[in-house]
Every structure is written in structure tokens, then in C-alpha cells.
Amino acid sequence: MTLDSSEAIMLVMKPYSEDLRIRIVAAVEDGMPKTEAARLFDTSLSSVKRYCGLAARGEPLAPRKGGGRPPKADAAIASLLEGDVGRRPYASVRERAAYLGGVSGIELSVSTVRRLMRKLGFSQKTEPGCEREGRVPEVGLEGRGFGESGSLSLRVRGRDGLQHLPLAALRLVEGGRALARQGTA
């Protein structure tokens, strides 16, 4: 199994089970050398020494809770974000971060808000007509694009590959036969 760099970064080491730790300590207490136990159970020598030390002091062998900073965004902030997305679907992530900071009193970075939105299942929306909205006109050169009649079919596709209207003023007529500005047709 080969991993690319993005997958390798996302791997997180999981702690060994309590059952395995108990078996390692039992093997060492029965006379097996620690280096041999490490090889047999496919663990590091440091882990075997640590488990034996815990057992000798009478401490539990169960894995402890992992460290790290507690997340800033809790369930209350997630529900605030969901409500904000419902009320303001085209607000930028920066505006959402400012809103959440003002309402909750907890300053969240744009990256944190973007990760939270992705976790909640929302995609990043852009304002219609924005230069960076990622929707570009796509001219069809096959099929009904330059057909027998020679008419040009203008379609607009978004990042998701689905057809979209770039502005409300633009109207596409099926088949690419007519392209008209609203009000002139």
C-alpha cells in the first residue's frame, strides 16, 4: 500500500489496545526479554518499557486520552453557523468569521470557519457576478454547438461541472438556438 504525501500527513497513530498491553506485560513478567517482546508484538522497545513500568507502579495500562488543544468551535458555534448560512447563503467565509466572533465572543480564523463549514456539509458559496466565482462560459464545439445550422451554443459550467446561469439577466434557450438578454426577447 503506497500513500501520497497528503494521505501520509493525515494518518494518525492510534494507541495500542489495553489487551495488547496486558499481553506484552505478561510476556515480560513470564521471563521474555523486552527486546524479544517488542519484536514479537511488533511494538517499539520504548513502549514495552513504558508498559512494564506502568504495571510495576500499579497504574492502569489503558490508553490515556490524547493531548492537543481543545477545539474553539463547539456545538453552539456550529448551530450559529448553520443558522447564518440559512439566513445569508452568499456571505463570504470572512464575513461569517466576523459574524461568529461578534455573536459568540470567540475569534475564529477564516480557515477554522471554512473547516467547520466543510464538516457541516456546506460548500463554499460565492456571490453571483463575482470575478472569482469560478463560473466560466463554455462554448460547445461538438454535438449541438456548431451543428448543421452553424449556430453557437453558449453554456456556463461551474466548478461542480453542472450548468449554471452566470447572471440573472442572461437566459439560455434549450438547444443553444437562441441567446438573448432578458427584456429583448
Cα 31 from chain centre: 48
| Three-class secondary structure of residue 172 per DSSP | strand
The 10s digit of each residue's pLDDT in 84-130 is 998 988 888 999 999 999 998 999 999 999 999 988 888 765 545 55
**So what's the pLDDT on residue 70?**
82
Domain coordinates of the chain in residue numbers? 14-57, 75-120, 136-181
Helical segments of 11-143, H only: 18-29, 34-40, 45-57, 75-87, 93-104, 110-120
17: its cell numbers: 489496545
**So what's the pLDDT on residue 29?**
95
CA angle 99, 104, 107 (to 5 degrees): 70
Separation of alpha carbons 145 and 164, rounded Å? 17
pLDDT averaged over 10-residue windows placed end to end, the chain, 185 residues: 51 84 96 96 95 95 84 88 90 91 91 90 62 43 44 53 48 44 45
**So what's the pLDDT on residue 39?**
96
**So what's the pLDDT on residue 174?**
42
**So what's the pLDDT on residue 162?**
59
